[in-house]
Amino acid sequence: MGLIRFIFITIFILWTVRLLLRLVFPLLLKSIFGKMQQSAGQQEQPQQRKKPEGSISIDYMPPLEKKGNADKLGDFVDYEEVK
């Protein structure tokens, strides 16, 4: 009698958990993804409002290379093709 009661209670609990997960899990995911979309939308808006349309801004300019003197570049040798 105890074994049948244990099996019945176990099946009932598993069935109830499965039913609750089918109802609660989609709502939980919808809530999480909704919050993620909302936070992503809030992060994009300040960046778009910052600059007026058509303006150009440069965030990084690489350092200019210094061109050396001819003395530091080395010797120049004329090339002649030998046949």
Each residue of 21-60: pLDDT tens digit? 999 999 999 999 999 988 887 776 555 556 677 888 788 8
- CA distance linking residue 78 with residue 33, whole number of Å: 69
Query: Does 19 map to a domain?
Result: yes
The percent of residues in the chain predicted with pLDDT above 90, rounded, is 35
Query: Does 6 map to a domain?
Result: yes
Give the total number of structural domains in the chain: 1
Tokens of 39: 């936070």
Query: Does 27 map to a domain?
Result: yes
At residue 40, the pLDDT reads 83
**Residue-range definition of the domain harbouring residue 28:** 1-32
Asked if 30 and 24 touch (Cβ cutoff 8 Å), the reply is: no
